Amino acid sequence: MRILFIGDVVGRSGRAVLLERLGALVQDWKLDFVAINGENAAGGFGITEAIYQEFVDAGVDVITGGNHSWDQKEALVFIERAPQLLRPINYPAGTPGRGAALIDAKNGARVLVVNAMGRIFMDPLDDPFAAVERELAACPLKQTADAIIIDIHGEATSEKQAMGHFCDGRASLVVGTHTHVPTADHQILPRGTAFISDVGMTGDYDSVIGMDKDEPLMRFLRKIPGARFEPAMGEATLCALAVETDDANGLARRIAAVRLGGRLQEARPQFWDNEQADRF
């Protein structure tokens, strides 16, 4: 199975590059499943129902969230009628929506997606490890699910790496989100789970983690807020993780970083690009 996980989509520029490129990526790379983190999609803060539907119509199979999941208050209502939208699973019982879902891939396979949020330097939610453990026990890889994706939305690299090792051999991939800067540690862990500490954001990198530079700079310099944060509006880079799993066991066979457009140096999965070139 070919999976593409696209990092935190920030504001209009992030949405634009995603919508511009996704159709061709699905076709050229023969993608079976596309996941994105969409908690910053609406002006950098939260997601609206219209944006959710726009992503689904473009070919996104699941949208994960994080600490900004509820910044657009309408999300508290429409998440109940949005089966492909997740929020962190370790919110308290009674929180609207769901933190895990078993979703049909484009090739007919069943993919379990779990969205968890870390607790270090974040809101003190319930234990993400216990929540993920319950899902892995209830829906084991290659028994109930053909592939399993864990989005661990967290500030601390150590916590995200710990989640990767905690799930190693039991999930297809564990993807860190939230810090908006792509890390260089993408790898297949010893028992076969693909991992990256942070996939990075899909947004304008001439910014401070996706926000127009002026207000964050002034807050660092003066320690006084002057205006609200606004997303940077320049050309965005699409940051993602490409993973190919083994149909026999659901674990990762190949992994590559993806960076397309914008300011960052381009990176592509050569193993899929070469296959595309060989057809011509």
Q: Give the pLDDT confidence score for residue 226 in this predicted structure.
A: 87
Residue type, 166: F
Q: Give the pLDDT confidence score for residue 172 in this predicted structure.
A: 98
Q: What is the fold, at CATH topology level, of the domain defined by 2-278?
A: Purple Acid Phosphatase; chain A, domain 2 (3.60.21)
Pull the structure tokens for residue 181. Answer: 């800067």
The residue ranges of the chain whose pLDDT is under 50 are 280
Contact, 121 vs 157, CB < 8 A?
A: no
Residue type, 51: I
Contact, 179 vs 209, CB < 8 A?
A: yes
Q: 17 Cβ partners below 8 Å, 6+ apart?
A: 202, 235, 236, 237, 238, 260, 261, 262
Residue 26 to residue 60: CA distance in whole angstroms:
10
Q: Does residue 165 carry a catalytic annotation?
A: no
Please report, for the chain, the start and end positions of each structural domain, with discontinuous segments joined by +.
Answer: 2-278
- DSSP per-residue codes, 76-137: HHHGGG-TTB---TTSPTT-SS-SEEEEE-TTS-EEEEEEEE--TTS---S-HHHHHHHHHH
Q: Give the pLDDT confidence score for residue 276 in this predicted structure.
A: 65
Identified catalytic residue from 68, 153, 180, 186:
68
Residue 111 to residue 28: CA distance in whole angstroms:
21
Q: Give the pLDDT confidence score for residue 280 in this predicted structure.
A: 39
pTM of the model: 0.96
Q: Give the pLDDT confidence score for residue 191 in this predicted structure.
A: 98
Q: Give the pLDDT confidence score for residue 275 in this predicted structure.
A: 78
Residue 148 to residue 233: CA distance in whole angstroms:
34
